[in-house]
């Protein structure tokens, strides 16, 4: 299980989560840490042994986790604000990388090797968040223009565009892709993927800064309330919560589903990162206790901005094609 965190200080942090068979004595082992960008890191994404980070220096950096090394760069003309991999079902390496930018464009890359396929202008202002449907045929994005867009990844063009009435900061598909979620400050909205119909609105106490889907109809969120919450998207109620998970706001959450061999299910393991520089790993089954104790933690002593992770072991390292092409 691998975790990648980006920081305001330009550093990329890599950790290996070692998990024993008895679910005890977890540990976060450092893989690497170095200033990979010239400006603050805005986003990260991981799939198998492939990892990427996007920064305010208009660059995507590519890493091979199997060798703990940076292997290339993809250059843009504006800040990279969101990154999302598409990994086909049962594959251990990604097929495509989708990137959103501050100039409102979305870029599509082949991930093996990393070469640019197409860049499309999607939003009138910057892209805040982008997510890929499990089918790999389309992506959804939200931007600073207070709109949501659908991108046809097969044809490489925008196929749908609508005004939301308020700027959304996050968008994500559910685990199976039947629903998707948008976040606007404290409000989480659940939509049907087929027609974008709103089926549920959830109100959090404070601003939500990160969200990621779990299995069995659960959505994990973190934010200004310093907690990690798991929402039942059928009822809109909190299924369980880790109160005061961090001393400051939560900036990233990762749900780890399976172990490195793709066998035993570990969906109860969740990692969170805070702007205080601390990464913690939790067993959500312990939330019934008065004070949940993290299974493992690491202090980067930096201002973390994002967190990504993967629990699938890759059987091949990504190759890098032409990384100098600008969007």
Mean pLDDT, the chain, integer: 88
pLDDT band at 272 (very low <50, low <70, confident <90, very high): very high
Provide the 10 A C-beta neighbour count for residue 30.
Answer: 12
Give the DSSP letter string of 253-272: EEEEEE-TTS-SEEEEEEEE
Residue 211 has pLDDT above 50, yes or no: yes
Task: Please indicate, yes or no, if residue 321 is contained in any of the structural domains.
Answer: no
**Dist CA 113 CA 90 (whole Å):** 19
Residue 274 has what pLDDT? 97
**What residues contact 3, with CB distance under 8 A and at least 6 apart?**
14, 15, 16, 17, 28, 46, 254, 271, 279, 307, 308, 309
- CA-derived radius of gyration, the chain: 18
**CATH (domain of 8):** 2.130.10.10
Residue 321 has what pLDDT? 60
Strand 127-132, strand 114-121: pairing: unpaired
Q: How many CA atoms lie within 13 A of 3 on its CB side?
A: 30
Task: Please indicate, yes or no, if residue 324 is contained in any of the structural domains.
Answer: no
Task: Please indicate, yes or no, if residue 162 is contained in any of the structural domains.
Answer: yes
Q: Could you tell me which of 284, 289, 288, 262 has the C-alpha nearest to residue 271?
A: 284
Is residue 306 within 8 A of residue 55, CB to CB? The reply is no
Task: Please indicate, yes or no, if residue 316 is contained in any of the structural domains.
Answer: no
* 104-123 pLDDT tens trace: 999 999 998 899 999 999 99
* 152-199 pLDDT tens trace: 999 999 999 999 999 999 999 998 889 999 999 999 999 999 999 999
Residue 80 has what pLDDT? 97
Provide the 10 A C-beta neighbour count for residue 315.
Answer: 11
284 φ/ψ angles, rounded to the nearest 5 degrees: -70, -10
DSSP 8-state code for residue 286: G
Task: Please indicate, yes or no, if residue 317 is contained in any of the structural domains.
Answer: no
* 122-141 pLDDT tens trace: 999 999 999 999 999 999 99
**Dist CA 282 CA 272 (whole Å):** 8
pLDDT band at 23 (very low <50, low <70, confident <90, very high): low
Residue 326 has what pLDDT? 42
90 φ/ψ angles, rounded to the nearest 5 degrees: 75, 0
Residue 299 in tokens: 């202090």
For a pLDDT cut of 90, what percent of the chain falls above it?
Answer: 72
Residue 208 has pLDDT above 60, yes or no: yes
**Dist CA 327 CA 101 (whole Å):** 10
Give the DSSP letter string of 106-121: EEEEEETTEEEEEEEE
Q: What is the pTM of this model?
A: 0.90
Task: Please indicate, yes or no, if residue 282 is contained in any of the structural domains.
Answer: yes
Report, as an integer, the average pLDDT of 37-52: 95
Q: How far is CA 2 from CA 68, 90, 192, 268, in A?
A: 11, 18, 31, 16
Task: Please indicate, yes or no, if residue 320 is contained in any of the structural domains.
Answer: no
Residue 25 has what pLDDT? 77
pLDDT band at 323 (very low <50, low <70, confident <90, very high): very low
Task: Please indicate, yes or no, if residue 16 is contained in any of the structural domains.
Answer: yes
Q: How many domains does the chain have?
A: 1
Residue 315 has what pLDDT? 44
Its domain, for residue 34, covers 2-310
């Amino acid at each position: 299980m691998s975790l990648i965190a980006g920081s305001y200080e330009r550093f990329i942090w890599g950790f290996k989560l070692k998990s024993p068979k008895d679910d005890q004595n977890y540990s976060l082992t450092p893989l690497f840490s170095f200033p990979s960008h010239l400006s603050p890191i805005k986003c990260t994404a991981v799939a198998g042994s492939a990892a990427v980070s996007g920064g305010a220096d208009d660059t995507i950096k590519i890493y091979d986790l199997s060798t703990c090394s940076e292997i290339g760069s993809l250059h843009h003309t504006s800040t990279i604000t969101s990154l999302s991999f598409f990994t086909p079902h049962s594959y251990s390496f990604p097929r495509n990388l989708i990137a959103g930018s501050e100039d409102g464009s979305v870029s599509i890359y082949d991930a093996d090797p990393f070469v640019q396929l197409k860049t499309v202008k999607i939003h009138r202002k910057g892209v805040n968040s982008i997510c890929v449907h499990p089918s790999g045929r389309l992506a959804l994005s939200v931007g600073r223009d207070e709109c949501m867009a659908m991108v046809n990844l097969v044809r490489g063009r925008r196929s749908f565009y609508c005004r939301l009435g308020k700027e959304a900061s996050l968008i994500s598909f559910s685990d199976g892709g039947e629903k998707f979620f948008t976040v606007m400050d404290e409000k989480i909205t659940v939509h049907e993927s087929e027609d974008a119909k709103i089926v549920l609105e959830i109100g959090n106490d404070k601003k939500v800064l990160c969200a990621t889907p779990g299995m069995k109809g659960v959505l994990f969120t973190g934010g200004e309330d310093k907690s990690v919450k798991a929402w039942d998207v059928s009822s809109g109620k909190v299924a369980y919560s880790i109160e005061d998970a961090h001393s400051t706001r939560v900036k990233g959450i990762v749900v780890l589903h399976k172990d490195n061999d793709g066998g035993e299910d570990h969906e109860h393991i969740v990692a969170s990162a805070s702007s205080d520089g601390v990464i913690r790993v939790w067993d959500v089954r312990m939330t019934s206790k008065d004070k949940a104790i993290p299974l493992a933690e690491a202090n980067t002593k930096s201002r973390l901005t994002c967190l990504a992770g993967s629990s699938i072991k890759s059987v091949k390292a990504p190759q890098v094609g032409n990384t100098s092409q600008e969007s």
